[in-house]
């Protein structure tokens, strides 16, 4: 029996008419790709349905789900296109949507060190609840609602671009009915993240009701407001954010009640209670604090502050020059203490290792954001020297072949297993950053100033053949490290053993995200189309397994420029 194919690479055709552009998501339904229709040139999303949820015996259920998804339309639900078949595997298409997932938006807020305003979080969750109510009215309970399955398009309008406007789309609709409750619970456990699945759906006799979706929405509302998900015995939102209206605590308590009977009866009921925050004066007033002093005292205080400010301004040193001087000093010390070997010594070291690898010598590098980087995110540690032992790193993303398309859409375990099979290991976050910054400790791999022509616009332009952009390489000779895909490292963030630091660009802010010091962290079970990796070795590591011959790779120069 031929093996069922669900995984496709960029450029492959599905059903002889859809060209694969990118892997967007993996879910219990199956992998979802952005594809391009060959004749019309139109981009759509296509989900390959797993045989266990859409096999031959489920044919009638699949057709019923498709008809149900097509039968009702709501502005916040993804429009379904066609139901088709590719070599015995069912698929369905959806409209394309410009935006990110709510998970990505939550991560961006976290990276920027900001939080959703109450009105922003309310706007998003109300749009989600309105879509849920439409689904419930049609007899559909999604059950699998989580940030990965909520698409968000955010724009800012009005004076000073201060008005937050979000468009929302939910993914999956009626097709979630095909997935057994047990499969959803297993997926929740495998991801190792927040528990979005309602408690009753994890029992021995799971029964899904609209209140199950209300629970999932409540988890996301809590997470948007506090920056963390309510796992176990959670704190009231106002304990984590005192600026929130106290009524938020009551909303969360009802939405996240363990028993379905204790929750909001419908999604619309939850919407009405959230809207009370902005409608009732005694509640809304909590977000508008009264001034602590009268206008007269404000005026006198302002004059005093102004006088002191003038004196301090005249005495102050130039902060820009101070920052530049601090960076120049750190860079000079790093170069001075670097143990640079000769080209002959580098060649002798690399001769003991697989081809297409670069030797990075022992010595310090300037870790973190430079003092002079005004737009760098505050969560990155400020620049300082950090010692790193010598190591060997792949010149290209896996499979480390020039001209090959890097492997992507991999979990941490898959990346780790591929490196181990090659006689290598994943790189540490420090090794990755040092390899990116080069001997000169530059902000980007190619220099101190952002240039989209060198590496492309972050992940919007990912998926190009390894090494095909000669300018996109560090001065150590490591390619595509400021562009293309995000990359796993073996380093766990503090006290988070189930997560790993990820280096490389972010899709929506490449100027910030393709900097060498930029990082995020992901659950080890995380998997999407942005994730790739490269491998490292210790200089004294034993010989690696002989590689399978592949045409085309070129060994880059092994010494620094």
Integer Cα distance of 22 and 145 in angstroms: 23
Per-residue pLDDT tens over the stretch 438-472: 988 999 998 888 888 888 765 555 678 999 988 89
Domains of the chain, CATH where assigned: 13-95 (3.30.200.20), 100-287 (1.10.510.10), 319-537 (3.90.1580.10)
DSSP codes of every residue in 461-490: G--PPTT--TTSB-TTS-BSTTSSSEEE-S
Quickly state the pLDDT bin for 529 (edges 50, 70, 90).
confident
DSSP symbol at 382: B
What is the average pLDDT across 505-529? 82
Predicted local confidence at residue 158, as pLDDT = 67
> Tens digit of pLDDT for each residue in 397-422?
999 999 999 999 999 999 999 999 99
B/e letters for 318-340, b = 16+ CB within 10 Å, e = fewer, are eeeeebeeebeebbeebbeebee
DSSP 138-193: TT-------GGGEEEEEEEESGGG-EEEEEEEE--GGGGGGS-HHHHHHHHHHHTS
Instruction: Looking at mean pLDDT, say which of 82-86, 323-327, 479-483 comes out highest.
Output: 82-86
Q: What is the mean pLDDT of the chain?
A: 83
> Of 399, 504, 408, 398, nearest to 456 (Cα)?
504
pLDDT level of residue 295 (50, 70, 90 thresholds): very low
pTM more than 0.75:
no
State the first-to-last Cα distance of the chain, in angstroms, to the nearest integer: 54
The percentage of residues in the chain with a pLDDT greater than 70, rounded to a whole number, is: 85
Which pLDDT value is given to residue 111? 79
Alpha helices in 280-422 (DSSP H): 281-284, 295-315, 319-337, 343-350, 412-421
pLDDT surpasses 90 at 204: no
Q: What is the pLDDT of residue 304?
A: 47
Residues in the chain: 561
Within its chain, how far is the Cα of 331 from the centroid? 31
Please give the residue that has the higher pLDDT: either 387 or 464.
Answer: 387
* Degrees, nearest 5: CA angle 182-187-189: 95
pLDDT greater than 80 at residue 17: yes
Beta-carbon-side half-sphere exposure of residue 290 (alpha carbons within 13 Å):
3
| pLDDT tens column, 87-103 | 989 999 999 888 888 98
């Amino acid at each position: 029996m031929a093996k069922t194919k669900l995984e496709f690479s960029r450029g492959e055709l599905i059903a002889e008419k859809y060209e694969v552009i990118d892997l967007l998501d993996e879910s219990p339904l199956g992998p979802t790709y952005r594809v391009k229709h060959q004749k019309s040139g139109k981009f759509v999303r296509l989900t390959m349905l797993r045989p266990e949820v859409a096999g031959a015996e489920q044919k009638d259920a699949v057709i019923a789900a498709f008809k149900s998804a097509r039968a009702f339309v709501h502005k916040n639900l993804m429009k379904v296109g066609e139901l088709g078949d590719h070599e015995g595997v069912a698929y369905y298409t959806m409209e394309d949507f410009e935006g990110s997932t709510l998970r990505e938006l939550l991560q961006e807020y976290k990276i920027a060190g900001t939080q959703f305003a109450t009105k922003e979080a309310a706007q998003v969750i109300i749009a989600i609840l309105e879509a849920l109510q439409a689904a419930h009215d049609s007899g559909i309970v999604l059950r699998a609602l989580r940030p990965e399955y909520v698409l968000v398009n955010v724009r800012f309008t009005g004076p000073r671009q201060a008005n937050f406007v979000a468009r929302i789309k939910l993914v999956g609709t009626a097709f979630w009915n095909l997935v057994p409750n047990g499969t959803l619970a297993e997926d929740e456990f495998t991801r190792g993240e927040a528990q979005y699945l309602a408690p009753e759906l994890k029992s021995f006799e799971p029964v899904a009701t609209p209140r199950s979706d209300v629970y999932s929405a409540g988890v996301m509302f809590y997470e948007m407001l506090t920056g963390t998900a309510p796992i176990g015995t959670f704190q009231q939102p106002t304990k984590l954010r005192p600026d929130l209206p106290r009524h938020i605590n009551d909303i969360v308590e009802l939405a996240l009640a363990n028993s379905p009977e204790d929750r909001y009866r419908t999604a619309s009921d939850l919407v009405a209670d959230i809207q009370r925050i902005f409608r009732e004066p005694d509640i809304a007033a909590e977000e508008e604090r009264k001034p602590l002093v009268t206008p007269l005292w404000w005026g006198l205080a302002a004059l005093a502050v102004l006088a002191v400010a003038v004196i301090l301004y005249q005495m102050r040193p130039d902060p820009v020059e101070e920052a530049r001087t601090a960076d120049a000093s750190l860079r000079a010390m790093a170069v001075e203490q670097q143990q640079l070997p000769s080209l002959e010594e580098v060649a002798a070291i690399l001769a003991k290792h697989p081809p297409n690898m670069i030797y990075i010598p022992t010595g310090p590098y300037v870790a973190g954001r430079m003092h002079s980087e005004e737009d760098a995110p505050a969560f990155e540690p400020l620049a300082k020297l950090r010692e790193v032992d010598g190591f060997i790193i792949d010149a290209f993303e896996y499979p480390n072949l020039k001209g090959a398309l890097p492997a992507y859409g991999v979990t941490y375990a898959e990346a780790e297993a591929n490196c181990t099979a090659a006689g290598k290991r994943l790189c540490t976050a420090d090794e990755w950053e040092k390899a990116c910054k080069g001997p000169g400790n530059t902000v980007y791999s190619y220099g101190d100033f952002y240039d989209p022509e060198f590496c492309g616009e972050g992940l919007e332009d990912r998926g190009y053949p390894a090494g095909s952009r000669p300018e996109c390489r560090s001065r150590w000779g490591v390619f595509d490290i400021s562009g293309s895909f995000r990359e796993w490292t073996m380093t766990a963030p503090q006290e988070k053993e189930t997560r790993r630091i990820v280096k490389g660009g972010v899709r929506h802010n490449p100027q910030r995200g393709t900097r060498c010091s930029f990082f995020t962290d992901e659950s080890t079970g995380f998997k999407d189309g942005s994730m790739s990796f490269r491998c490292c070795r210790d200089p004294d590591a034993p010989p690696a397994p002989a590689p399978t011959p592949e045409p085309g790779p070129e060994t880059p120069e092994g010494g620094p420029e």
